[in-house]
Structure 1
Amino acid sequence: MRTTLLVSLLIMSALTNSALAQTTAKEIRLAATSFLEAFARTQATEGYQITFETGNIDSRINLAPCTAPLAVEFTGDPWRSEHPSVEVACSGERPWRMFVTTTVSINGPALVAARPFGRGERITQDMIKTRSVVVNASRRGIITDAGLIEGMVVRRPVNSDSVLTPDLLEAPDAVARGDHVIITARSGSFSVRSRGKALANASVGEQVLVENLTSSRTVRANVTAPGHVEVPM
């Protein structure tokens, strides 16, 4: 009888310790929430307001105990999605990981159109303004520095108050078809200059066909600055 009772107590103790040792859904939610709170505090110092919610975690979850602090990180870019998942992971003796769905809203300043834009217009300061938007609602990104886009060209029509995204703008042509340009033929520190005529439009960094006005040869050159192209010698 005493032996039976002792065995029963050992079994009950083992079951109890096993249950207590499990990593619970509550612990996982706490780790994910603490991570998102830290993210919100960090971004608040940069002028962004973060609100968030964590998704449901099955209360019946049964994960091994973790002998190390739980590690949490985003699995996607929270600046490009309002629903980034976070990974909660254990790197202890019995490692595991699981994913928790979240809803994250990042509110902050962004540049928007002060009036409608037409295709081909060049951006000036009076064409843009700043207002608060849900930054991560746009997967195409936002623009916050007006100095970076002044002088750029609108690629397609934009409605008034629309959030400006990088894909809406492009660098202006540095050379246009028919323009006279300076051709620099370069080899190391040695270079020779000649005059040429651009046979197409191109921006800085792009290649363009150029007619050398001295030799009448057509060469493919890299646009280095407005009115200037370069070819290897």
Structure 2
Amino acid sequence: MIHRVFISFFLLSLSCSGHSQSWYEQLEASLKQNLSEQIIAMAENMGLAEYEYDIDLNYLDDRLNLSTCQIPLTIEAPQPLELGRSHIKVACQDTSPWALNVPTNVNLFADIVVLNQPLAKDQVIDEAHLDLQRQNLADQRNGYYLKKEQVIGKQSKRALAGQTILNSYLILPALMIYKGDKVMIIASKGAMSVKMPGEALNDGREGRQIRVKNSRSERIVRGKVVAPGQVLVQF
């Protein structure tokens, strides 16, 4: 795994005397370790092989008359960790207690799926349309895709410009069934399932509900498109 980390701290005052660790040096070190561990765990859970991250701690004023904590600091970071700007409460709970809300800015950079050319509305997306581009995930409030395979075969909801970062608001699930297609209806209840032939009464996209007619009983039911030519009906 390859990753880089950039950590910066902005102090309103940089005056410091002696060699003992000051309260703000202690706070910086504790937050750095805590947030770095959380970001690395997040990246691993996302399956990121290569990434970079940076952590900014803003406006720590070393002129505050606070003492170095004699026990480990308590850090109340959001769970799960939020990328972007937030405030994190850091507290000392020894005999001289204190607490601060520290403004932070956490950024995680990784490769995500973008278009390398314009697409027309309803165009089916294939691999030739796609590139991977390094972006700050903290800026992707509408979501993103990490792998091209998550997008290939789907359709654009509207015309899209080249370099567009793809997300679920911009694309439609793949159209797997057309009205009039012969389909396999899979009737499922618990661990039991029965297959029967049927006919699609409307077009169906992956994961969407459509109406199908049982070719044997002529009964019309609704089911979820799970694969090309397959509709799951749960009872």
Do the structures match in fold with TM over 0.5?
A: yes
Tell me the distance in 1 between the aligned counterparts of 2:38 and 2:233: 49
The match for 1:28 is 27
The match for 2:124 is 122
Contact 1:80 1:138 in 2 (8 A): no
Cα gap change, 1:166/1:71 in structure 2, threshold over 3 Å: closer, same or farther? farther
Tell me the distance in 2 between the aligned counterparts of 1:84 and 1:27: 20
Contact 1:80 1:140 in 2 (8 A): no
The match for 1:49 is 52
The match for 2:217 is 215
The root-mean-square deviation of aligned C-alpha atoms, in Å, is 3.6
Match 1:166 to one of 137, 146, 168:
168
Contact 1:79 1:135 in 2 (8 A): no
User: What is the TM-score normalised by the length of structure 1?
Assistant: 0.70
Match 1:75 to one of 75, 78, 82:
78
The match for 1:107 is 109
**What secondary structure does 2:141 align onto?**
coil
How many Å apart are 1:25 and its aligned residue? Answer: 4.7
The answer as to 2:177 corresponding to 1:175 is: yes
The one-letter code matched in structure 2 to 1:55 is: N
The match for 1:87 is 89
The one-letter code matched in structure 2 to 1:224 is: V
**What secondary structure does 1:122 align onto?**
coil
Tell me the distance in 1 between the aligned counterparts of 2:129 and 2:70: 57
Unaligned segments of structure 2, at least 5 residues: 1-21
Cα gap change, 1:90/1:174 in structure 2, threshold over 3 Å: closer, same or farther? farther
Deviations 1:179-207 (A, max 9, x none): 22122345567655433221223334333
More strand by proportion, 1 or 2?
Answer: 2
How many Å apart are 1:58 and its aligned residue? Answer: 4.7
Tell me the distance in 2 between the aligned counterparts of 1:188 and 1:103: 47
Contact 1:84 1:102 in 2 (8 A): yes
Paired residues, number: 210
Larger radius of gyration: 1
Cα gap change, 1:203/1:64 in structure 2, threshold over 3 Å: closer, same or farther? farther
Cα gap change, 1:115/1:214 in structure 2, threshold over 3 Å: closer, same or farther? same
The one-letter code matched in structure 1 to 2:173 is: A
Tell me the distance in 2 between the aligned counterparts of 1:42 and 1:206: 33
Contact 2:173 2:207 in 1 (8 A): no
More helix by proportion, 1 or 2?
Answer: 1
The match for 2:156 is 154
Cα gap change, 1:92/1:166 in structure 2, threshold over 3 Å: closer, same or farther? farther
